[in-house]
Structure 1
Amino acid sequence: PLKVAYLGPAGTFSESASRKHFGSAPTFMPTLAIDDVFRSVEAGTVDYGVVPVENSTEGAVGRTLDLLLANPLKICGEVKLRIHQHLLSRADGMGAARRVYSHAQSLAQCQEWLNRNLPSLPRVPVASNAEAARLAAEDPESVAIAGEAAAELYGLNILSANIEDDPNNTTRFLVICQHGAGPSGKDKTSLVCSTPNRAGAMHKLLQPLAEHGVSMTKLQSRPARSGLWEYVYYIDFEGHESDPKVAAALQALDQNASFVKVLGSYPVAAL
């Protein structure tokens, strides 16, 4: 069977995203860090990796962006997952709760609910939502914020469901592999590039996309490792790199940028 590495432990949203994309047939392998997912795919110990890249409320996952730039791997798919956070406990109610565990990002995504309902409870950030659920399973005086998969894994009660502040809270994950994905008819392409630091450079860089009728869907800057106040830009646009107009735009973009790396073309995910 296929082997798929994801950011673990079991019971995290990364596992849910992996299962949403690949179904239940593959062997799923949790890792300790995003770096380990990239390493496993590069070494060939797994066929695919699944890593978070951005959340609709919290923004980009910087480590994933940095590793995409540094690694030879390709993006060959994306997964969009609606993130529902639940308050979980061994107990049947919140009365005995003395602390709430969760990943820092989940605590941030539920802070309005926590301020309203559990204002005096200390909020303890831990490595993952699944780790929070594990701690709550061991201690009846603790509650955790995590997803349904973690509740099932650790046999916890859902005291309050869907406590995220934004009901449309969504995380986007990328599927990475050693080879690219062929055209599906509804694709997007991701690349990373940098431009000389001078007036009008960004406009000049993006002009070929407009000239060739290629629609940009995302532009994200990230500090470059090379120097202070130097940036690299992550760009997503519609189409596959093998499409003639995309290929022409990429060729022109290559001439205007000081550096370009195509990260991959892959099918657009549905929510």
Structure 2
Amino acid sequence: MSKVLFLGPVGTYSHQAVIQQFPDEELIPAASIPECFERLVSSTEMDYAVVPLENSTNGQVVFTYDLFRDFMELDQNPRLEVVGEQYVDIAHCLISPVKLSVDQLKNVDVVYSHPQVWGQVKDYLTSFDKKYGKTSKIDCSSTSGAVERCLNEYEASGKITLAIGSRVSASLHKGTIVDSDINDIKGNTTRFLVLKRRDGFNKIASQSLPPNGDETKVNFVTFVINQDNPGSLISVLNVLREQDLNMCSISSRPFHNHTQSERKWQYCFFIEFYDKSDIDYELLIESFDQHCERWIHWGRFYRNALYYQIS
């Protein structure tokens, strides 16, 4: 049985993602995204880790992007690779410790949730506050932790607060769903990556989980360009055009190059592009070596079938 790390605690959307990918394996919650990376690298007992990468409403999960960046900065022979992806529909619920009357709802003055959630339910909470009275929004480390805090406070003192989380977290902590599907934008989805410890070092990562209804493969690469001259980024992207490779995403994060301390501003770019049966990886390696100060191919993995589903 494989041991799989995920961003805990149980009852989170990360927990749902890891169950979707590994329903029959031993699932181990970690306290943070960095812990998922570090334990997978350092412990041979751990086989995989599942971490959030981006949300269709809020964009990048910067903690994850920055860990890929930092791994590249410290070591260009990475000890991890991406072997798969998962997609989880984020359907938030307003949760209370007990069933509440309208008068009780008017007396509630605190709502707990993860910081990223507030931007996903802004309109709903504005309407809620107008109807029942102003509430304070208090951050928790996870949506499941928010529900747990709400229930624990009621058990300890009888104080009624609310939390925003998933149906799974409400069921797990025996909370009551006041309102469901409260997202301002329907179809809100979070994308997760599946990580595995890399066996040795190859310029092109080769491991991947079996396909899930789709034979399309995605390549995930990070790089820093050699210089800031006009056209430097285009020179790298032309590497893809020359082989007729379709880039499906690009983003960037600030990069501090410790070897060139006089440069305070530099960027690490993240690109994904679809695979082809006739791709010339030797030429790709040669071109990236020529145009990039440093680069890492993190994975070549199958596109998950859930990518195409619209909620």
Residue 217 of structure 2 aligns with which residue? 187
Residue 126 of structure 1 aligns with which residue? 140
2:279 is aligned with 1:245: yes
Q: Which runs of 4+ in 1 moved over 6 A?
A: none
- Spell out the pairing of 1:74-223 with structure 2 (5 A cutoff): 74-93=81-100, 94-119=105-130, 120-138=134-152, 139=154, 140-179=159-198, 180-181=207-208, 185-195=215-225, 196-223=227-254
Shift of 1:97: 2.1
Letter in 2 for 1:57: T
> 1:214–1:249: 8 Å Cα contact kept in structure 2?
no
Alpha-carbon distance in structure 2 between the residues aligned to 1:47 and 1:173:
16
> 1:90–1:137: 8 Å Cα contact kept in structure 2?
yes
2:5 is aligned with 1:5: yes
Structure 1 residues 164, 194: CA separation in 2 closer, same or farther (over 3 Å shift)?
same
Residue 203 of structure 2 aligns with which residue? none
Shift of 1:253: 2.9
Shift of 1:85: 0.5
Between 1:177-186 and 1:146-155, the stretch displaced more is 177-186
Shift of 1:194: 0.9
Q: How many residues align?
A: 268
Structure 1 residues 84, 267: CA separation in 2 closer, same or farther (over 3 Å shift)?
same
Structure 2: tracts of 5 or more residues without a match: 72-77, 199-206, 258-262, 307-311
2:26 is aligned with 1:27: yes
Once the two structures are aligned, what percentage of the paired residues are identical?
A: 28
CA-atom RMSD in angstroms: 1.7
TM-score in terms of structure 1 length: 0.94
Q: The residue matched to 2:256 in structure 1 has which SS?
A: coil
Map Cα deviations across residues 14-69 of structure 1 (whole Å, 9 max, x no partner). 0000001112x111110111111112211223110011111111111122122223
Between 1:254-263 and 1:207-216, the stretch displaced more is 254-263
Structure 1: tracts of 5 or more residues without a match: none
Map Cα deviations across residues 73-109 of structure 1 (whole Å, 9 max, x no partner). 0011111111110000112133442210000111221
Structure 1 residues 19, 37: CA separation in 2 closer, same or farther (over 3 Å shift)?
same
Alpha-carbon distance in structure 2 between the residues aligned to 1:188 and 1:29:
27
Q: The residue matched to 1:253 in structure 2 has which SS?
A: helix
Alpha-carbon distance in structure 2 between the residues aligned to 1:122 and 1:166:
22
Greater Cα radius of gyration, structure 1 or 2 = 2
> 2:11–2:169: 8 Å Cα contact kept in structure 1?
yes
Letter in 2 for 1:84: A
Q: The residue matched to 2:193 in structure 1 has which SS?
A: strand
